[in-house]
Structure formats: structure tokens, C-alpha cells
Structure 1
Amino acid sequence: MQTSKTQFITEKGTRYMGQLCKHFAHKIDAGVDGNQGYANFPFGTAKMRADENQLEIAISAEDEAALTRTKDVIESHLVRFAFREELEKLDWRDAA
């Protein structure tokens, strides 16, 4: 199992997490419960936690290719949703 984490410092973490989960829920199992959210893609899983200072995202997948695909999907959507904050990319930290 491959894993990676990222953190986006923002005052709108809860809003972005809700946006991501609601958007993904149209096609996959995804949802929000309080300050936590999830998205279960066929190729990987994302778990999110948000508060008034940040959005943390932890992803897992079976192999490197699936991990990269999960990162790309999460990142491309978050960059689009957070365009006012001029987010260009996330700094992912892969677990060793």
C-alpha cells in the first residue's frame, strides 16, 4: 500500500473539503461528517480533515501509478476550486 499526505493552509479548508466531497459524490462514494471527509475512488482513497486554518488530505492506493492518479485528481479539483487563493499545486509527502 502506497500513501501520501498534503496540507493546504487556508481559512476555507472546511468549504473546500465540502466542495470536493460533494463534487466527487456525483460519481463515487464520498461524503463529509463534521470536519472530516472522504472519497473512495476505484484506484485510491482520500481522507480529509479541515479546520479554520487548513485542509489536510491523506491518500492511499495499491501502487505508485494509482497513488499518482489519486493525487492528480484531488489536486486538479482543489486547484480549480481554490483559484482565488492562487493555488498552483500541492506539496505531497509520500510515506517511505
Structure 2
Amino acid sequence: MAASTARIATPNGRRYMTQLCKHWAHKFEVVYDETQGLVPFGPDSRCRMAADDAGLTLTLEVEESGQMERMQGVVIDHLKRFAFREDLGEVAWTGVG
């Protein structure tokens, strides 16, 4: 399984994480609390989120590395919709493991 992580500096990390989880809960079996969230997009991909006072960390895991770029785009596009009042800047993903 391939994984990549992005850290977004924002004082609204918890709010954005909650909004993303509530949005995707209409389609997927999302689990979240005040500081962590898990969105299982399917049997072969998921997004883990961790929020704190300084930002939001996204860890995207996909079965096939060829899916990574598309799924990164999906996650960031949704995040930017909720964060439209704030310029999050360019989001940089880094590989994990």
C-alpha cells in the first residue's frame, strides 16, 4: 500500500476535518472525533486525518500508487471548498514508508 502525507497550517484544522468527515459520511463509513478522522473511500484507499490548534495532517493510503495523484486531488479539492475563506496555499504531499 502506498501512502503520502500533507500538513496544512491553519487555525481551523479541527473545523475542516469535521466538515470533511461529515461530508463523506453520506457515502462512506467515516469514524471521527475532535482530533482524528478516518475516511475509508473503499477497500483499497483511505484518508486518515489528525487536527490540532496549528493545522491539519492528512495521510492518504492507496493500494495502487497510480491512484495516489487522483486521490490527493479529490481530498484537497474538497478541503479547499470548505476552506474557501482562507488561502491554504500550495499543499505539498510527501511519501511515507
Fold shared, TM-score > 0.5 on shorter chain: yes
In the aligned structure 2, how far is the partner of 1:25 from the partner of 1:89? 26
* Pair 1:35 & 2:35 matched: yes
8 Å contact from structure 2 (residues 9, 88) kept in 1: no
Report how far residue 33 of structure 1 moved: 1.9
Residue deviations 1:4-47 (CA, integer Å, cap 9, x gap): 00000010100000000000000112131231001000241100
Aligned length: 96
8 A contact 1:6–1:90 mirrored in 2: yes
Amino acid at match of 2:31: G
For the residue of structure 2 that corresponds to 1:37, the secondary structure is strand
CA contact (8 A) 1:4 1:93 kept: yes
SS at match of 1:71: helix
Runs (5+) with no aligned partner, structure 1 = none
- TM-score w.r.t. structure 2 length? 0.89
What RMSD over aligned residues (CA atoms) do the two structures have, in Å? 1.4
Aligned-partner SS, 2:61: strand
Local SS of the residue matching 1:72: helix
SS in 2 for 1:45: strand
**Structure 2 unmatched runs, 5+:** none
Q: Is the 8 A contact 1:79 1:88 kept in 2?
A: no
TM-score when normalising by structure 1: 0.90
In the TM superposition, 1:24-63 aligns within 5 A as 24-42=24-42, 43-63=44-64
